[in-house]
Structures are given as C-alpha cells and as structure tokens.
Chains A and B, each alone.
Chain A
Amino acid sequence: MNTQLLIQLLVNGLVVGTLYGVVAMSFVLIYKATQVVNFAQGELLLVGAWVCWWLLTKYQVPFYLGMPITLVFMFLFGIAIQIVILRPMIGEPIISVIMVTIALSTVFSALMKWMFGVNLQPFPRIFQTQNVNILGLQVQTVYLMSLAVSVAMMVGMAWFFRLSKYGLAMRATAFNQQVAQSLGISVKSVFAMAWAISATVSAVAGVVVAVVNGVSAGLSAYGVKVFPAAILGGLDSVGGAVLGGIIIGLLENVAHFLDSEYLHWGNLYEIAPFYALIIILMIKPYGLFGTKDIERV
C-alpha cells in the first residue's frame, strides 16, 4: 500500500472537497431562497474566473484590486440574471425553470469559449513561495490559500444567515414566502440577493480554482459535481452541502487511489460521485440533513 500517495490524495480530496462544499453551498442558497435548481452554477464559477483572469492579464490590474472588481461585477451579474431571466419564470412548472438554467449554462459556456478560447490559460502567479512545510509534508501554498478562503467563506455565510438581519429575512423567505411578504420582507429583493450572493461566492471559488489549476472551460465541471454534494447533504441544507462537498471530494480521491493501486478500471475518479448519487437517491433521497417531504395516499 502506497501511504505517501494516499495521504497526498486525501489532502487533495479535502482541498477540492471544501471547494465543492463552497459551490454546493451557493447552489443550495439559490435553491432554498428561490426554489430554483441552478444548473448554471458551474458557469457562474467560470465567468468569475475568466473576468478575474482578464482583468489581471489584459489590464495588468494587481490582484488585490482585480479580485474586488470581479466580485462586484459578479454581484451585479447575479442580480441581472435573476431579474431578466428568472423573474419571468416564477410560477412556471419545474421543468421550465430547470430548462432555463440549463439553457443559461449553454449560453454562458459557449460565450466564454467564444471570447476566451478553449485552451487552458495559466493564472498569474500570486504567491512568491511555492511550497510550505507543515509537519514534514510539503503543501502547496495555493492549496493552503484555497482551504483558508473556503473556510472563511463558510464562516462568513454562517454569520450572514445566523446573525445578520438580511440573512434572517432570507431564511424567513425560504421558510414561507407569503408569510415573509406579509411581515414586510421584499421577496423580490431577497430573490435577487440570493442570486447575487450565490454568484459572488461561486466567483470566489472559481478564482481559487483558477489560481490552483489555471482557467479553462473545464471549470464548469464543478457545477456538475455540485449535485452529488448537495443531494448527499440534503438539497435544502447549507451545512449539509458543505459536508456533502467534502465527502464527495474525499470519495473521488479515494476512488482514484483504489483505481490506480488495485482495480485499474480507469476513469473511476470521474464517475464515482455519480454512482454515489444514485445510491443516495435510492436509499436516502433527502440526504443527511434535508427536509423530508413524505406524502402518503
């Protein structure tokens, strides 16, 4: 047994998993607040990463300035999507809403390929030192940054929902839209804000991935990995999404380890989360922390 590789992969899984968790968290945020399953989550990641890359390379904006500009842009972008495209869909059947977000993802991914090409573009270097030595293990600085940013975002999100007034309004809307409206909460602005926050958080995750791996159209794959993570945690549980993301990240890498060491099936890394997804749906469809919605006739 190759312990070195296993540890390396577990660290890898933890880092990737927290990123999945962050993306799943922003996915669940939209679902909880607006009852929309966002199939374009991966593209929000992609747009954020490309915008930041564009500012940094084409206009030579320093990172500490480029990042806030990207986030402000994504905030407005999220609001714009909600107002222009999702708002007319309120009250439409579920299939229409799902199709709109699928179509959005098609449009954005094609647009990004058109504007920036299909090749992997390296992100400008941000850190001077490549590796840090922790307990005798060489860890890349970008990994540490990724972990730190992810945890910071999760803590920020928790604070927002638990303690801020707006977060409370959002939770109230998620609980019951009509009651929330009757208590003076503007449901419209809550919807827009949910998209804005989700887009911003996704963009942060996108930039983090871009710093680690470079930017390419493949980034939107994170949007697909969101589904196993969110389903595992329960579709309407923010904490569950984070945990689900970490588990899926670890599962992927464990599958990769088993595959390369013992099974040699190849490609198990990519497909394992989907098998997990089917199994979860069959035995525990509402996930670890999701609200059970049981109907009997």
Chain B
Amino acid sequence: MAGQTLIPAGDFRTSYAADTTVFPTTTSRNAMIAGIALICLAPHVVNEYVLSLLIQIGIFGIAALGLNIVVGFTGQISIGHAAFFGFGAFTSAYLSNRFGIPVFFCIPLAGAVTAAVGLVFGLPAARLKGLYLAIATLAAQYILLDFFARAEWFTGGSVPASAEPFSIFGYMLRGDKQYFYVVLAYVVVCYLLVTNLIRSRDGRALVAVRDHYLSAEIMGINLTKYRTLSFGLAAFFAGVGGALYAHYNQVVSNEGFGIDRSIIFLAMIIIGGLGSIMGTLMGTAFMVLLPESMEWLSVALRDSPIDQFLGLKNNIAFLREMAIGLIIIIFLVFEPDGLAHRWRQIKAYWKLYPFSH
C-alpha cells in the first residue's frame, strides 16, 4: 500500500499497518520531506520579520500540540495552558542559570519538570470532568501565575529572568537565522512523536476516553491513568515550547503567560481543528498571523476616514484582542471542525475532480 503514489478512490486497506500508516502514499511522504527541505531554505530567503513570525509559529505550535492532546484527543478541558508554557520558560532559564546545565539539555529537562507539574494539576481530572475540570484548570492558571510573582528565587520576581542563548557542543548559536533551525528540529520531532503516539495503544486509549469514557472504562482502559497522563503530556509539550520561547527571547518576564495567552492557545487548536495534528500547526499559523494582519490593516487604513473615526492606530491592542475573540466565535459557529476539516474537503474535491460526485 505504501508503494502507491495516489490514494485509490475507495478503501482498499487490508492490514492494520496500512490503516494506521502515517503517510498513505509515497507522494504524501515525499511532499512532506520536500516541504521540510523547502522550509530549511527559509532563513536565507525571507527577511527578519517573516523569520521571527515563523519561529513564533514553531514555538507556539509545539505548545498548542500539547493542548490538542488534552483537549482534542482526550476530550478534557484545560484553560490553564499558558501557565505551563510559562513554567517551562522559567524552568529552563533557572536550570541553565543556577546549575549551569547546557541549554541543549535544559529544554527537554524543562519539558520533563513541567510534565511533573502538569501531572499534579491533572490530578483533579481523575475525579472531575467537563465544567468542573475547566474551572479547576482555571484555578491552576491563577495559582501558577501567583507562584511566578511570588517565587523570586525561581523567576526573579518583578525583575525578568535572563536565559542563556542556545548552544550546542560549545558552539553558540546567535541570531534568529540559526535559532530557526533549532525550532524547526523541535517542531519536526514533536509532531512526529505525537503522530506516533496517537497510532499507538496509549493514543487509542486517549481517543477512547474522549469518545465515550464509560465504554472506555468497561473495555479496561484506566480512566484515572489516562486522564492524568494526558495532562502530563500536554504540560510536557507546553514546557518544551516555553523553554524554546525563553531561549529565543533570552529574557523571561512575568507577563505573557496569563489567561489571555491560554485563550489564544485554545483558539489555535479550535481554529486548526480539535484532534488534528497538522491542523494544530495551521491554527497556530492563523493565530500568529491574525494579530499581525490587524497591524497591517491599521497601517493600510492610516489617515482614512475609518481610521479617524475609530482611532485604529492608538487602539491597535484592543483591535487585536477583539479580532481574536471574534474569530473564535465565527469559527465555532460556522466551522466547528476547523481548518483541518476544510483542508480535507479541498483534498477530497480535487481527488475526484472533475467528477466531484
């Protein structure tokens, strides 16, 4: 089956291996490899601004992937993801500053420490579900933020903590161009990991918990274990994303890990598509570009009557916030399955073109 270049018009899969394969055809595998190779060229082609956007998409994409495990695949609700993202950032900075651990090891270590914290905050998930869980994670968000403000030994309190630049085997990486490859490597590894996780026994257990938790329990899936595990996994990816964010900015301040960031993470996976791995990346790209497009809009409309009436330039922050809220509502009402669903429809349309029915 894997030898085929195009998907046949119908289901001809005869083995489990064929059913769970990552790339259904050789064309799709080659296209993915070519795509990654093409992105590798990006730092030499695009300017600084576009490059910084690409890096942000990568970093937030990893964190959003974690959130998609807990929300999209396991069906639990988490409104405190940004706090874990922040925890990863502070942990990585702390580990490299305090213990002199090379940044190369700090990033996965930060992920592991954040995963442990995620497991602790995931414990309520063993007993609670739905709304109660949503509110418990909201409390986790506020408690962790309070901890950041309080624990000066860990975060530096009101003074932002500094984070070492990324280095590998004594070779210091400087500038966005080199850091881009670090982020790209992490994105590829994380996305491959999660793709394979979902194909595995544990991944299927997570999906079963989402689809019908009572049936899942009857089938012998340990609900407590998998619900808590999903929070740990989500926190792991949030921690890795946060650590990458810390070493990208090289300072970690207390701001930017609040509830509004959590909402943006949720928006990313809803717009991308709940329970879709590639959709997560699409949604992240969408949510990173949306506030920027508001900026472009305000520049384009400068000194026009609309601008004078609304005062766009001075209120750009509010415009961004509103755009985020509005886009979430629009997607939920009109396209609840997200961009991934739209992408599948486009593919299905072209597969049978010109005989679409």
Contact = CB atoms under 8 A, between A and B. Distances in A.
A37 interface: yes
B116 interface: no
B136 interface: yes
Given A95-B71, A99-B332, A275-B143, A106 B325 contact: yes
User: How many of chain B's residues touch chain A, expressed as a range?
Assistant: 35 or more
B136 A278 contact: yes
A40 to B, nearest CB: 10
B191 to A, nearest CB: 22
Interface stretch (A2-10, A108-116, A184-192, A243-251): A108-116
B217 A297 contact: yes
Contact of A107 (B128, B135, B218, B325): B325
B132 A281 contact: yes
A92 B75 CA distance: 13
A277 B263 contact: no
Contact of B270 (A94, A99, A106, A235): A99
A270 B149 CA distance: 12
Given A37-B131, A94-B131, A277-B136, A104 B315 contact: no
B340 interface: no
A270 B150 CA distance: 13
Nearest to B130: A94
B318 interface: yes
A244 to B, nearest CB: 13
B324 interface: yes
Nearest to B147: A271
A271 B142 contact: yes
A291 interface: no
Interface in A22-70: 37
B139 A274 contact: yes
A77 B119 CA distance: 41
A103 interface: yes
A173 B324 CA distance: 34
Contacts of B127: 281-282, 285
A265 B214 contact: no
Contacts of A100: 328-329, 332-333
Most buried by B among A85, A95, A107, A281: A95
Interface of A: 37, 85, 88-89, 92-96, 98-100, 102-107, 109-111, 113-114, 224, 227-228, 231, 235, 265-267, 270-271, 274-275, 277-278, 281-282, 285, 295, 297
Given A228-B139, A282-B127, A295-B214, 10 more contacts: A94-B131, A96-B336, A99-B267, A102-B263, A102-B328, A103-B325, A103-B332, A106-B321, A267-B149, A278-B124
